[in-house]
Structure 1
Amino acid sequence: MLIRVLGSGAGGGFPQWNCNCGNCRRLRRGEINAQPRTQSSIAVSSDGTKWVLFNASPDIRFQLEANPPLQPKEGVRDTGIGAVVLIDAQIDHTTGLLILRESNRPLELYCADPVYEDLTSGFPVLTMLEHYCGVNRHPVPLDGRAFRIPGFPDLQFSGHALKSKAPPYSPHRNDPYPGDNIGVVVEEISTGRKLYYAPGLGEIEPHVFEAMQQVDCLLVDGTFWTDDEMAQVGSPKKAREIGHLPQSDTGGMIEVLDRVPEKTRKILIHINNTNPILDEDSPQRRRLIDAGIEVAYDSMEIEL
């Protein structure tokens, strides 16, 4: 199985356009050992030719230009993207669908019911696309049942609900529904190799931890280092309140990943611009290295 990290940052990317936090300021000045990051998205393939896109960030055009395997190869209009799977309905994971409107065929879109409802009501991206390429929407089951995507005979997928929050524009923002945010296991049938992808992960429920134990690679929520990290930019919001499990706190992601089999590759993705792990010389980054945890970066290639 081939995995391309198209974007590894959280909403706004790194540096964020209006942010003057220590990380963003130092990156602009060349005073930090860090890499710029676009907003979170990955692509998965079994043959290196046709790809399933997970999330479509506002940066999708730049991400495709930076990753030749997903670029056109035949005909006047072509793409390596065969289908799109949405993890949630957040702006930073769905706005890129509008960039894909020039497709010469309807987008094959897989998402849970609450995501579809949000994207046809509070943020009607899918309604807008009906005036362009159109969308063939396919529901993602949330009970762990495997589903297949036509054109990808060697891949199967299974999803489950995660505890998180719907976007601010969702009609049920304060009334969470199962499926507002999902985790997905991708299995390559011929090899049995498995990936677990969950860029937004607010709580390690039993079914989540069970899935994490059974895969070869984890690409999971690395948004914040501490629960109160956003305080440095004047926000009263805590990491857990907005659906993200911080890394360093008691019961945080580092402790969770320490209970995952050592042979499993552990990678953090969806890194917020305020997170000190972006500084590759920081003690926080050293702590991750010592724990056997990697930090995703744009155009990172993973082969399972």
Structure 2
Amino acid sequence: MKIRILGSAAGGGFPQWNCNCPNCDGYRRGTLRVSKRTQSSITVSANGEDWALINASPDILQQIQSFAPLQPARALRDTGIRAVVLIDAQIDHTTGLYMLRESTRPLDIWCTQPVREDLSIGNPIFRLLDHFCGVRWHELPLDGTKVGIDGLDDLAFQAHALKSKAPPYSPHRQSPQPGDNIGLTITDTRRKRSAFYAPGLAEIEPHVWQAMCDAHCVIVDGTFWTNNEMESLGLAPKRALELGHLPQSGPGGMMEHLARLPAATRKLLIHINNTNPILNEDSAERAQLGARQIEVCHDGLDIEL
């Protein structure tokens, strides 16, 4: 199974266009060893030719241009993208659907019922796309069923309901429903290798922990280093957990959980906010991750399982 990290940043990318935090300022001044990042998305394939796009970020056109297998190669109008799988309805994971409207066939989109509702009512992207290429919606079940997707032989997808936040425009923003946000196990059924992907994760419940333990590779929420990161910088009054993200440090943080995984598990952080000190490759926080064999995703990273 081949996984390409198309984008590794949280919403707004890095540097964020209107932010002058130490990381963004350091990038623009050239005083920090940091790399530019687009908003989080990955793509997955078993054969290297047919790909599932996992989330469609606002930077999707740039991401496609940077990765030849997604580009047209077989016909006048073409793409290696066979289906789109959405883990939630957040703007930074769905806005790219607008950019795919020139598709010559309806977009095959897999997501849960609550996400479909959000994208039909709260932020009606699906309805808008009906005026262009159209959408063929397929439900991602939450009962543990592994589903196959046409055109993606040897891959199976399993959704895991997560505790996180629905988008601000969701009808159930204040009354969370199972399926607002999911983690995704992606399995290469021929090679018997799997990855667990969850860029938004507020709590590691028992069923989520089991999915992480069963995977050969975990690519999980790396948004914030501390719970009060945004608050301490004077950027926002809300804390990481209130925003639906488990911080890496502190008691019960992501690092503690990742340390308990089997030694052979590859561990990566994605959806990294522009304020997170781990973006600075020379930071003490980055060194802590390295000592624990936890990787920080960057755009263009290739993973093979």
User: Is TM > 0.5 for Structure 1 vs Structure 2?
Assistant: yes
Give the counterpart letter for 1:251 in structure 2.
G
Q: CA deviation at 1:70?
A: 1.1
Matching residue of 1:10: 10
Give the counterpart letter for 1:244 in structure 2.
H
Deviations 1:143-187 (A, max 9, x none): 111111011120111111000111000011100000000001011
Residue identity over aligned pairs, in percent, reads 60
Deviations 1:69-98 (A, max 9, x none): 111101110001000000000000000000
Matching residue of 1:303: 304
Q: How many angstroms apart in 2 are the aligned matches of 1:69 and 1:148?
A: 21
Matching residue of 1:241: 242
Work out whether 1:261 is the aligned partner of 2:262: yes
Matching residue of 1:219: 219
Q: Is the 8 A contact 1:221 1:268 kept in 2?
A: yes
Matching residue of 2:56: 56
Matching residue of 2:118: 118
Deviations 1:184-239 (A, max 9, x none): 10110111000000000000000000000011000000000000000114311100
Q: How many angstroms apart in 2 are the aligned matches of 1:186 and 1:173?
A: 27
Matching residue of 1:152: 152
Task: Give TM-score scaled by structure 1 length.
Answer: 0.99
Matching residue of 2:78: 78
Q: How many angstroms apart in 2 are the aligned matches of 1:14 and 1:119?
A: 26
Q: How many angstroms apart in 1 are the aligned matches of 2:70 and 2:250?
A: 38
Q: How many angstroms apart in 2 are the aligned matches of 1:49 and 1:35?
A: 28
Structure 1: segments with no counterpart, 5+ residues: none
Give the counterpart letter for 1:270 in structure 2.
H
Give SS of 1:145's match: coil
Q: How many angstroms apart in 2 are the aligned matches of 1:149 and 1:249?
A: 39
Give SS of 2:144's match: strand
Q: How many angstroms apart in 2 are the aligned matches of 1:126 and 1:31?
A: 43
Give the counterpart letter for 1:246 in structure 2.
P
Give the counterpart letter for 2:221 in structure 1.
D
Matching residue of 1:138: 138
Q: Is the 8 A contact 1:21 1:233 kept in 2?
A: no
Deviations 1:245-267 (A, max 9, x none): 00011100000000100100000
Give SS of 1:127's match: helix
Q: How many angstroms apart in 1 are the aligned matches of 2:38 and 2:165?
A: 22
Matching residue of 1:179: 179
Q: How many angstroms apart in 2 are the aligned matches of 1:122 and 1:154?
A: 35
Give SS of 1:268's match: strand
Q: How many angstroms apart in 2 are the aligned matches of 1:233 and 1:277?
A: 19
Q: Is the 8 A contact 1:106 1:136 kept in 2?
A: yes
Deviations 1:30-84 (A, max 9, x none): 1110100000000000011110000000000000001111111011100010000
Q: How many angstroms apart in 2 are the aligned matches of 1:27 and 1:297?
A: 15
Superposition pairs of residues 197-212 of structure 1, within 5 angstroms: 197-212=197-212
Give the counterpart letter for 2:85 in structure 1.
V
Give SS of 1:4's match: strand
Q: How many angstroms apart in 1 are the aligned matches of 2:41 and 2:254?
A: 20
Q: How many angstroms apart in 2 are the aligned matches of 1:234 and 1:63?
A: 28
Q: How many angstroms apart in 1 are the aligned matches of 2:88 and 2:169?
A: 13
Q: How many angstroms apart in 1 are the aligned matches of 2:144 and 2:250?
A: 29
Give SS of 1:219's match: strand
Task: Give TM-score scaled by structure 2 length.
Answer: 0.99
Matching residue of 2:129: 129
Structure 2: segments with no counterpart, 5+ residues: none
Q: How many angstroms apart in 2 are the aligned matches of 1:249 and 1:105?
A: 48
Give the counterpart letter for 1:287 in structure 2.
Q
Matching residue of 2:106: 106
Q: How many angstroms apart in 1 are the aligned matches of 2:175 and 2:276?
A: 29
Deviations 1:3-31 (A, max 9, x none): 00000000000000000000001101111
Give the counterpart letter for 1:292 in structure 2.
Q
